[in-house]
Each structure stands twice: as structure tokens, then as C-alpha cells.
Amino acid sequence: MDLNLLFNIANIFVLPFWALIIFLPNWSITQKIMKSYLIFVPLIFLYIYLFIISLNPESIATLSNPQLLDLAKVFSEPVVTFAGWVHFLVLDLFLGRYIYWQGQNEKIWTIHSLILCLFAGPMGFLSHIITRTIQTKFMSKNETQLT
């Protein structure tokens, strides 16, 4: 199958999940979908396929002893870049799912962190950590003052 087509399908595949957790977080369908790990399986299989077809003596040597310039050379191959991109898609969505569930369980405001996570996973996670810390301290102070 054409790698460009697979690339576009992979990118589009994750968007409904992101839309659900960002725009409809309290909807019962969103909660049901996000309880399952099955949403990750198609992308994991795609990753495995891309990983396997990208293996060659040069990539194996680079992965076994990574050096920045060697990694840059290996990642200049479209199939390796695509595998890396799918890796990002899976892990960012997994992280977004974590942020979503922590927000649901602890009543934390998450929309800004999820949007950041969609585009830059670690920054979205940091945003969530900061928001959770501020909200938890603010809420606990209010609860203490009320009692």
C-alpha cells in the first residue's frame, strides 16, 4: 500500500478520539470509547509493520548504538520517519487519554492541556501537571476555609 495514503489514514484515524476528549469529554460514548485500549491497536500494528520493513543493517546498527548524526541519517528515510510519526501518534494519544481520565476522575480542567498534547505531547502533559497542581491547591484551600 502507498505510504502516503497510510500516513494520511493514520493522521485522520486519531482525530475523532481527540475530538471526543476535547469537545465531548462528559458524553457517555466518549467515556466508553476511552475506557478501551483497543483504540491503539490499529496504530500499534501499523507501527510494527513500519518498524519491521524499515529494518536493515544500517538502521539496526544505529538503533543498537544511537548517535545523533546516525539517527538523523536513518530518519531521513520516509519509512523510518513514518514509523517515528506513528510512535508519536500512539504515545500522544495515550498521554491524552491519561490526562482525560485524570481530569474526569479528579474534576480537573483539561481542554487546554489536551489541545497542547495533541500537537506537542510533553508540553500538554506539563500543562496538565501545572493545572492539576494549581487546581488541587486552590480547591483544597477553598474546602478547608468552608469547614
Helix 3-23 / helix 28-35 crossing angle, nearest 10 deg = 130
Among residues of the chain, what percentage have pLDDT more than 70? Answer: 95
Task: Identify the pLDDT of residue 144.
Answer: 46
Task: Tell me the pTM.
Answer: 0.89
- Separation CA 109–CA 39 (nearest Å): 23
Q: What percent of the chain has pLDDT over 90?
A: 90
CA distances from 9 to 21, 38, 52, 71, 108 (A): 20, 17, 19, 26, 32
pLDDT tens digit string along 33-91? 999 999 999 999 999 999 999 999 999 999 899 999 999 999 999 999 999 999 999 99
Scanning the structure block, which residue is given the C-alpha cell 468552608? Answer: 146
**Tell me, what's the pLDDT at 140?**
66
Q: What is the mean pLDDT of the chain?
A: 94
Q: Where are the domains of the chain?
A: 3-106
Q: What is the 3-state secondary structure (H, E, C) of 12-66?
A: HHHHHHHHHHHHCCCCHHHHHHHHCCHHHHHHHHHHHHHHHHHCCHHHHHHHHCC
